[in-house]
Amino acid sequence: MTLARRKFDTLVIGAGGGGLRAALQLAQADAKVAVVSKVFPTRSHTVAAQGGINAALANVLPDNWHWHMYDTIKGSDYLGDQDAIEYMCRAASNLVVELEHAGVPFSRLENGNIYQRPFGGQSQDFGGKQAARTCAAADRTGHAILHTLYQQNIRAKTHFFDEYFAIDLIKDEEGVILGALVMSIETGEPLLIEAKTTLLATGGAGQLFRTNTNAHINTGDGLAMALRAGIPLQDMEFFQFHPTGIAGKGMLISEAARGEGGYLTNKNGERFMERYAPNAKDLASRDVVSRAIFIEVQEGRGCGPSGDYVNLNINHLGEEVLNKRLPAICDSIRTFLRVDPAKDPVPIYPTAHYTMGGIPTNRQGQVVVPIEHGEEPIPGLYAVGECACVSVHGANRLGGNSLLDIVVFGRAAGNDIIGYLREHRYHRPINESDVEQAMAHLTRWDRKGDGISVAGLRGELQAIMEKYCGVFRTEEILQQGLEKVLEIEQRLDDVVLYDHSKIFNTARIEAFELENLVDIALATVKSALSRQESRGAHSRVDYPERDDKHWLKHSLFYKQDRRMAYKPVRLKPLTVDTFPPKERVY
């Protein structure tokens, strides 16, 4: 078969805020850029970010980038790299103003300045009073950023491959990345996109867990592509969970519901949080509440016919208060559960939200791997956004920092690529053998016969990850989880497709996504089993304390021999003093 080929200076895989910000920087510098996206660009998950984007503009309350830096480091439970965090927080104000000039309609104060709202984890003066740092365009910040960047890219003549699915990176014998094998979802035809530089911006992997807040497209494809290209994944044990997702569906019910006086009960009607957190009760921290819910369900005190959730009670607040203070939450509950929250309890369960770990990069967005002393970039490969691990979020991300992450590092990667292209003017030749592995991956799904279904195995994997690698982690549970995921990996061989047509064969796409999820699940459970401490979002019941002596380091998981390696946290900022690790109390 002759494989169709196209050539570009840069291939960007992913059209969320991260990919589009990088593409824009490049297209404006007259580079020839291709953006590949499995869904139409403005349907990328960035559109879901309604809360806003952080920058210390000090429009509402006193603020400066140094305080923002402190909060981000503390929030990361000291696992964030302090040089990258300084870079991000310093760049924030300029980037927000730039977005405004590009057309993002930020909400305004009476004096005409950008409106800013307070979010959790934001402080003035290094841990003092609450700060107000989150800039918002009403409830549509992500949407506004994504649409603005898309329009600007169209104007700058970025070439879009809409509804194309990226399958694998192409790497030559010297380890240089030469582009990717992609497939048109509409026609099923493969296409080789040759590029001097390739940027992964494929977003997060919330679909790893049964209950999650992410769109169905968030299957972490770029993470798995990196793993298969021999690149390790960093800090995959850190996954942010919220205690109150709508049971069986995943959508978030914000903390406001408990803040207003909501409380949790088990099947006996007991207010069980009193047992787990006698003082804070239902307002205890996210991980404590999440774990309590897990234990109640695990020990047979869950509600409903399958006993697989607990109840959130807000009915005592009365219809008027609910409609006034929690209108959006109530509407979501009415729509998705057919439950009237003013009358009946609401079924909830912890829900997976944000992937802190990812493809290791430096602050220029270059993908880096460890060598004997230090680390070196993979030539021609970059990553930004939720699929990357710079690491600015460390063990826990602060709300409003991920939209910032994607625009700051999207631009930084764009700039670095411009320099790289200046020094690498020609495409390197691609040999048949460089493409073989990716093609074999593609044709593997042509196999016919009887076997297991994609949807069935994906459901099993998600349930296993939720139960064995979710909010309740011990050596024993994670070990069982690892064995179960390995078993799923074996059974992946038995999965066959019943539909072998070419046109819009979405079953085939779902099969690729399942393979990707299995690879990432292994990385996640293995990293979680290895880290014997509790830090940020990773909380181990058998190692309840943070252990800086042994674990102030980043984990790296390699697919080939399922090996773990570690690298130091970059504690030295660019210009200011280090924030030394301290106990994290709020």
Partner 1 sequence: MNNEEQVTVAQQHQRLMWQCRRGMLELDILLQGFVERCYHDLSATEKLTFDRLLTYSDQDLLEYFFQQAQADDKDIANLVISIRNAITP
Q: Which is it for the CA torsion 180, 391, 534, 551, positive or negative?
A: positive
Q: How far is the CB of 482 from ligand FAD (least distance, A)?
A: 26
Distance of CA 181 to the CA centre of its chain: 23
- Stretch in the footprint of ligand FAD (CB under 6 A) among 51-59, 168-176, 295-303, 480-488: 51-59
By annotation, the residues acting in catalysis are 286
Contacts of 143 by beta carbon, 8 Å cutoff, 6+ apart: 47, 137
Window 224 to 253, contacts with ligand FAD (CB under 6 A) = none
Window 313 to 372, contacts with partner 1 (CB under 8 A) = 328, 331-332, 335-339
Among 156, 191, 215, 571, interactor with partner 1 by CB under 8 A:
215
Q: How far is the CB of 384 from ligand FAD (least distance, A)?
A: 7
Amino acid, res. 124: Q
Q: Which of 392, 362, 389 is nearest to 378 (CA)?
A: 362
Asked if residues 13 and 202 have their Cβ atoms less than 8 Å apart, the reply is yes
The site partner of 1 among partner 1, ligand FAD, none (C-beta below 5 to 8 Å per kind) is: none
Asked if residues 282 and 270 have their Cβ atoms less than 8 Å apart, the reply is no
Contacts of 166 by beta carbon, 8 Å cutoff, 6+ apart: 13, 36, 38, 180, 181, 182, 202, 221, 222, 225
Window 353 to 412, contacts with ligand FAD (CB under 6 A) = 353-354, 385-386, 399-403, 406
Q: Which of 420, 361, 353 is nearest to 88 (CA)?
A: 361
Among 12, 33, 34, 53, interactor with ligand FAD by CB under 6 A:
53
- Stretch in the footprint of ligand FAD (CB under 6 A) among 35-43, 102-110, 291-299, 498-506: 35-43
Q: How far is the CB of 79 from partner 1 (least distance, A)?
A: 28
Report helix, strand or coil for 121.
coil
Query: Which residue number, 206 or 379, has a Cβ lying nearer to ligand FAD?
Result: 206
| The CA-based dihedral angle spanning residues 479, 482, 483, 486, taken in that order and rounded to the nearest 10 degrees | -170
Residue span 5-34 as binding mask against ligand FAD, x where in contact by CB under 6 A, dash where not? --------xxxxxxx---------------
Query: Which residue number, 215 or 552, has a Cβ lying nearer to partner 1?
Result: 215
Among 42, 50, 437, 480, interactor with ligand FAD by CB under 6 A:
50
Q: Which of 352, 355, 79, 361 is nearest to 232 (CA)?
A: 361
Residue 566 within binding range of partner 1, rule CB under 8 A:
no
- Exposure string of 525-555, with b = 16+ CB inside 10 Å and e = fewer, is bbbbbebebbbbbbbbeebeebebeebbebb
Q: How far is the CB of 392 from partner 1 (least distance, A)?
A: 23
Query: Which residue number, 232 or 245, has a Cβ lying nearer to ligand FAD?
Result: 245
- Stretch in the footprint of partner 1 (CB under 8 A) among 25-33, 41-49, 226-234, 564-572: 41-49
CA within 13 Å, CB half, 455 = 4
Rule CB under 6 A: which residues touch ligand FAD? Answer: 13-19, 36-39, 41, 44-46, 48-53, 142, 165-166, 201-204, 213-214, 217, 221, 353-354, 385-386, 399-403, 406
